[in-house]
Structure 1
């Protein structure tokens, strides 16, 4: 039965890959509407022919990888169960110590290491692709360092999450999903609180904005928006990427405004102020809280569905999956498989809401600064720096885009300024 499942899974995955290849590279479309050709939103107006070609190639490859890698991870989880690897990881972990926490840590280390090694070639290809197209400036040793930090940060958090999760499952096999969800609330807030001061500095150096004149302008803008903020930070991203970015992160006393040094080096003050006003719009309209509420709601539904599916699948196919009981740590790959599928399936909904929030933030930034022209040029420079696809195919937009497309953003801002033509 396990062999049959494996063959069917491989065949379905192969057919899916063929379909996505045809869609991304031949069917999906994504061309510029005739009505927008020659306008500020048309990439041909602000990108060279070489940049347009590179953008098209790079976007297609990245989109294809996105749609293929996620189901590939599901396939890996399935084979870890079918081949008895999860059972073997559990056996090794439990034979080393009697302490449950250490057993969980040992199991997670073996599973995490296996997944890291299996998926490493794809991660490296993504890195090499970014280097090839001039997006990444990071050398291999630095990239590996970030990868190792990622591994241990995720491992540490997973030890805590999984240990609590399986303790709850052992205490209540029927309502563990509800108790897990209740604990998700304080845990998520705690992670958001420590992110800017504990986790982010592991990857990059953060320091107060050196350009005090620009900092004063940003803080004045924040004051106009009634946003409490004392400092603006910059981060040294030029050694890793040519892309541009700025964001507001953290909650409470740890909230901060952050600008990549690439953004500071390549955008004008007015363009930076528009981007900052956009981020402030998220704060003013309380998007972080609405986003958190939506995340918690979807988590509640997701955990409930996961609990039902895990119980049903173990009862019916437990022998094939090498799982005896739901509270066995060896069932973790099944939990990860189901939650990953649900997260992928729900991404069009979360992305749609996120795009709405981003549109609102753009509108707020225009109202606050009145810098329509700076907004247009900022979007154009962001597109050029990241070789972004301004008008992606529908499936790509639904599953990948948490922001409106650059075509939509530029067109909307330019239309208000009267510079569409």
Structure 2
């Protein structure tokens, strides 16, 4: 059933629409134990960022320190013909072993912790199935990416940081193109949305924005969790409008339209292209630091690690360890890049769907797994999306500015029904 419904009590506030009062009415949807649980889950993620980086550094250091990486490189040199094949062969044991070592941690973060907070619908067998598919994709894609990076390290030792960033950016763009049609269907089934008024309204919104899509696909994401999601993904001929079945089951039609307006905003504002461009600058910085730091560390530890050449695939654990540490430090930067794009899509979606209360209600539902009202610095550092509080407030500010354009029954302060006990 559609659980996000508005209770009675939507008469206009005396003296005009009160943004603060309307915002607090939504924030009151989640209080007490539900708010504490949501905050605890999200704040725990701050520590997961640190522990993930530390584990990556520790495991990759061990691969170098105990000579495993050098032995894999020697094996690949004996078996493979040509430097590219050798790199691709090396990546196979690297991925298999690191995945196996990290399995207990992955089980905790991806299965037990998610079930602890009621955020996963997967059985353990289902979880292992998902992880197995992910590993298979990595075993296909990973060797190609790593081989491309080591190719530029060999051919341009003085400037490989520039070309390495270009390789990563190129694969990112390729991923955006092929993911909707080749990768996503490996994890979920996509079926056309059933005909009906809501489908017609979403398509009408898309056509008004000149989005080249004549169908809407629904994914069976409820197999994995109850999280709501949607996207307008792909580039060029692979563009498709997708929403998950949770969105249709749990959210009212105004909320669904608000979400789809947001997702259309990403497409119309060319966010895929701008994100690729901005993250290209991030990759440029990361690869520069790898280029500058790795020769010094290889020279210092060559005797122990049995690796001295930056172009030797045995140096991969060093690059991964350094990259993990660098990306951890860049967390505020990468999160802010994404968050700014989300804010822009929010504004676009409010104009396109004209459903401020629908979007505010959905923003509160996302509080199932996102802290709703963080501190300002906390949001800058740890949030890749705007907080629930800021999204609701901006929705109410939009409503106040467009009050006379809305139907009379939508002009007052809505009194949202509390979220269900499952929250």
Alpha-carbon distance between aligned partners in 2 of 1:338 and 1:42, rounded to the nearest angstrom: 46
TM-score by length of 2: 0.84
Q: Is the 8 A contact 1:278 1:361 kept in 2?
A: yes
Q: How far does the alpha carbon of each residue in 1:25-71 deviate from its partner, in whole angstroms, 9 at most, with x for none? A: xxxxxxxxxxx997635776112533223223323333322322222
The answer on 1:46 being equivalent to 2:29 is: yes
Unaligned runs of 5+ in 2: 1-18, 401-412, 416-423
Alpha-carbon distance between aligned partners in 2 of 1:134 and 1:351, rounded to the nearest angstrom: 25
Alpha-carbon distance between aligned partners in 2 of 1:292 and 1:59, rounded to the nearest angstrom: 27
Alpha-carbon deviation of 1:159? 0.8
Q: Residues 393 and 141 of structure 1: is their aligned pair in 2 closer, same or farther, counting only changes over 3 Å?
A: farther
The number of equivalent residue pairs is: 385
2:151 equivalent in structure 1:
167
Alpha-carbon distance between aligned partners in 2 of 1:363 and 1:44, rounded to the nearest angstrom: 20
Unaligned runs of 5+ in 1: 1-35
Q: Is the 8 A contact 2:41 2:117 kept in 1?
A: yes
Alpha-carbon distance between aligned partners in 1 of 2:25 and 2:114, rounded to the nearest angstrom: 24
Q: How far does the alpha carbon of each residue in 1:124-148 deviate from its partner, in whole angstroms, 9 at most, with x for none? A: 1121111122110111111111101
1:6 equivalent in structure 2:
none
Select which of 197, 201, 222 maps to 1:217. Answer: 201
Alpha-carbon distance between aligned partners in 1 of 2:27 and 2:201, rounded to the nearest angstrom: 33
Q: Is the 8 A contact 2:233 2:267 kept in 1?
A: no
2:77 equivalent in structure 1:
94
1:400 equivalent in structure 2:
382
Alpha-carbon deviation of 1:101? 4.5
TM-score by length of 1: 0.84
The answer on 1:56 being equivalent to 2:39 is: yes
The answer on 1:312 being equivalent to 2:279 is: no
Q: How far does the alpha carbon of each residue in 1:367-399 deviate from its partner, in whole angstroms, 9 at most, with x for none? A: 22221111111212222xx33211235665344
Alpha-carbon distance between aligned partners in 2 of 1:355 and 1:189, rounded to the nearest angstrom: 20
The higher-RCO structure (CA 8 Å, 6+ apart) is 2
Alpha-carbon deviation of 1:109? 1.9
1:239-254, aligned counterparts within 5 Å? Answer: 239-254=223-238
Q: Residues 187 and 132 of structure 1: is their aligned pair in 2 closer, same or farther, counting only changes over 3 Å?
A: closer
Q: Residues 64 and 186 of structure 1: is their aligned pair in 2 closer, same or farther, counting only changes over 3 Å?
A: closer
Select which of 99, 103, 120 maps to 2:103. Answer: 120
Task: Using the TM superposition, name which of 268-277 and 46-55 deviates more.
Answer: 46-55
Taking only aligned residues, the RMSD between alpha carbons, in angstroms, comes to 2.5
2:283 equivalent in structure 1:
299
SS in 1 for 2:218: strand
Task: Using the TM superposition, name which of 115-124 and 44-53 deviates more.
Answer: 44-53
Task: Using the TM superposition, name which of 170-179 and 392-401 deviates more.
Answer: 392-401
Alpha-carbon deviation of 1:253? 0.7
